[in-house]
Amino acid sequence: MNWLKRVAEIGVVAGFLALPATLQALDLSGYEIVDLSHAFDEQTLYWPTSASRFELHPLARGHTEAGYFYTANSFCTPEHGGTHLDAPIHFAAGKHTTEQIPLAKLIGPAVVFDVSLSAARDADYQLRVEDVRAFEATHGRIPAGSIVLLRTGWSRFWPDARRYLGDDTPGDASKLHFPGYGPEATRLLVAERGVSALGVDTASIDAGQSKDFMAHRIAMAANVPGFENLTNLERLPATGAIVIALPMKIKGGSGGPLRAVALIESRE
């Protein structure tokens, strides 16, 4: 696969899986590294029905009797909140749990659909088959193994729950309004293009008004994970970036906090 060759060239594979006798520094000077994750803190957004939120509890902070400085905390968070992974088991019985997802599905070439103008006109906009066809008419057929990212522009509202989710009624998820993937476009990407993962800069790969969560059900029945609450997608080109999206490795998990980054080759 061409994208694996590119990753090897920057050292992610060559530098760590085939170490030379004399270790060489990993040179990323020719790449822009874009952080695609929101930080976790007391403002982190969760689904309205979530029973808890992110909590950080100090265990130690200060100078010890031995004279050195030491800090440690404990934290608690639901799996599904902030920038996070949806493992296929989240919506498909018997499919991959978090730790079972192959790394090849979490590292790969990015394909970025920009529907921000359509979403600005319609908060309930869903990616359509026509959008995929139009993208391919310009950029070529989406390669198998791609990580598809849907840029809606919604990350600019983070962490304002009312604007980001469309409603901030505690415990009520029936009034949400934000864009997502339409079922038919999801089916095309998963079944016909063989993409590895679907990501979005909103709270769900399904649009906020979805009641049947078909994008989740279609993708995850095919063992395709989701990345939700991404950010900085406006900094990525339509094609050409490499995404590395590594979740907390929770055994038996249905998801978990996600640190995702993109590598963009400099054009200078």
Question: Residue 234: CB partners within 8 Å, gap ≥ 6?
Answer: 116, 151, 153
Choose the catalytic residue: 38, 90, 96, 216: 90
Pair 199, 154: CB distance under 8 Å: no
Half-sphere exposure of 2 (CA within 13 A, CB side): 7
Which of 205, 216, 218, 267 is closest to 241 using CA atoms? Answer: 267
Give the C-alpha separation, 238 to 133, whole Å: 14
The per-residue DSSP string of 23-85 comes to ------TTEEEEE-BPPPSTT--B-TT-S---EEEEEEEEE-TTS-EEEEEEEE--SSBSSEE
Classify 258 as helix, strand or coil: strand
Which helix or strand (DSSP H or E) is residue 113 part of? strand 107-114
Question: Residue 126: CB partners within 8 Å, gap ≥ 6?
Answer: 179, 180, 181, 182, 183, 185, 207
Asked about 96 being catalytic, the answer comes back as: no
In the block, which residue shows the tokens 């849907």?
A: 150
In the block, which residue shows the tokens 């990525």?
A: 236
Q: Which residues are catalytic?
A: 90
